[in-house]
Structure 1
């Protein structure tokens, strides 16, 4: 069954709503160096992650400038996993995994299939997204799901699908790509308050992603 990660949580209310929605993982964006309403400080990310109950995975999402920076964020936030954005080579990803002592998810662009192949078997998961020039997600833009499906068939590492997903299209996305997990940030936010989550949309997203896994697309 496909897993769901709800990302960019910044308040206790959003965390509780995401847990109640049935999410498998919660993402906390910190130390990214780009302008986003979803960013929280490492201390705040740690505080929010600590409030998450057992059996729900916590993920620190960051854009580190170096291996040392990535390891520092992992230590400060103390989540179950670390999602890194940036042009890290396979040996650097290995170093982050070894030194941080947590699962490492590497985010890469949908237009970087060769990099995905290079990182296959190195990262714990590969997150394929529609990224900005700075390597950040949250663009709200989809990409070629059929191409991502073909890439998934080549990889042994679990593939996480991101980029422009919403409650309205995640059913089709999962049916097309059949990823290990799906990840959403901007697609479940309130129109009147950027960065804050629409709790009805959180529930709908998880429901639609799970429904696809159970029923298929026929």
Structure 2
């Protein structure tokens, strides 16, 4: 099965176009103000309007208030909600149902975490997928770190691999984990929030190579 790819932390129109041109399956818009990849609603609205059909727009939220999400969805067409904070399964379901959206949960792979049990908590609640990211005590994604890929489980829910992915290691990552999808941000940037279009192309080439083996 072909491995899907999402390029996250898009802040500029030209970067969004580069992602589309490279053949990625989704773009990620970060609606978390402390993040250096945060995108204002007005800019996100412009980006979303230029994304063609069959490329999904994912909105990343970290412990967001319901009114904040409502305001964003009023202006920005999102296909999927990505919860990247301490949201419980019940909170994820409640928010997603209010807006009629599919959702998935990002889980940071901590050393002491019962990863399988944590995944199943959100799977039981109706998550469309689970994103597994490297753990950092302060940052919520975009750390540039990677966890031990040998810990990557095989379960009956789509799993997304994130954390420390680059054009140089994404093929190996896919071959090692057999992940449903990969999610990259910092690995294709010249600076935080500013994408390198050549790196995006190379990353997608790596994805295709990993999928073909």
Report the TM-score, using the length of structure 1 for normalisation: 0.88
Please say if 1:184 is aligned against 2:181: no
Residue aligning to 2:145 = 141
Aligned CA RMSD, in angstroms, stands at: 1.7
Distance in 2 (alpha carbons) for counterparts of 1:178 and 1:44 = 35
Residue aligning to 2:162 = 162
Which segments of 5 or more consecutive residues in structure 2 lack a partner in the other structure?
Answer: none
CA distance change for structure 1 residues 103 and 135 in 2, over 3 Å: closer, same or farther? farther
Residue aligning to 1:41 = 40
Asked if 1 retains the 8 angstrom alpha-carbon contact of 2:27 and 2:58, the reply is yes
Residue aligning to 2:89 = 90
Which segments of 5 or more consecutive residues in structure 1 lack a partner in the other structure?
Answer: none
Q: Alpha-carbon deviation of 1:185?
A: 0.2
Asked if 2 retains the 8 angstrom alpha-carbon contact of 1:162 and 1:182, the reply is yes
Distance in 2 (alpha carbons) for counterparts of 1:175 and 1:118 = 27
Distance in 2 (alpha carbons) for counterparts of 1:70 and 1:169 = 34
Counterpart among 100, 117, 121 of residue 120 in structure 2: 117
Report the TM-score, using the length of structure 2 for normalisation: 0.90
Moved more, 82-91 or 2-11: 82-91
Q: Alpha-carbon deviation of 1:85?
A: 1.1
CA distance change for structure 1 residues 157 and 74 in 2, over 3 Å: closer, same or farther? farther
C-alpha distance after superposition, 1:154-204 (max 9, x if no partner): x322111000000000001000111110000000001xx432111110011
Q: Alpha-carbon deviation of 1:65?
A: 3.5
